[in-house]
Chain A
Amino acid sequence: AQTVTQSQPEMSVQEAETVTLSCTYDTSESDYYLFWYKQPPSRQMILVIRQEAYKQQNATENRFSVNFQKAAKSFSLKISDSQLGDAAMYFCAYVRGNEKLTFGTGTRLTIIP
């Protein structure tokens, strides 16, 4: 069965600095998708960034980028120029096709002004 592990329950970063959230996963599949979701206090799950496993190029979305290491089954999220609005729970998730998402346990990110 697929599993997703987020080993950092909590992280903090100074405003305007860079922070990296780690995520590892376990799968025997070669074709799948990985996501990072942000869940602010409103509890809405907001898609931050997605990565297709067949693409070697790391995905980027403005200040958010990933380091996707397929062989190592690692999918870390880098947030550059951290802003107060980035404070939230961040969930890493894996899915293969139109199946249910497998989530990590989340990392609570605090931004220090």
Chain B
Amino acid sequence: SQTIHQWPATLVQPVGSPLSLECTVEGTSNPNLYWYRQAAGRGLQLLFYSVGIGQISSEVPQNLSASRPQDRQFILSSKKLLLSDSGFYLCAWSGWDGNYGYTFGSGTRLTVV
């Protein structure tokens, strides 16, 4: 069965520091991968999605970037964090697991101080 791993679970970073969040998927090949952000008490906002290695689409211009160096690996990065980057970040994959599925990782709570 397909599983999605996301780490770290919690991260506290100072303003201006770099960021790297990683997401990997197991049990499937060529998944569509997504990064979402959820501010406290709000809905989910799509940040990036990828349909294949090296193929990244950005939904919202911002201080963040994404990369997909391998088929089942999706990385969210920033060179210099801003206070406004604080939030809850969720990785997701979509594809077929017998039925069409859209599954989320466990999330990363990022606090920029």
Contact = CB atoms under 8 A, between A and B. Distances in A.
Interface of A: 33, 35, 37, 42-47, 50, 52, 91, 93, 95, 98, 100-101, 103-106
9 contacts: A33-B102, A42-B106, A43-B88, A44-B104, A44-B105, A45-B92, A47-B101, A101-B46, A106-B43
A43 B34 contact: no
- Identify whether the interface residues of B are mostly helix, strand, loop, or mixed: strand
A45 B90 contact: yes
A52 B100 contact: yes
A61 to B, nearest CB: 12
A52 B105 CA distance: 22
Contacts of A35: 102
Interface string B72-113: 000000000000000010101011000111111111010000
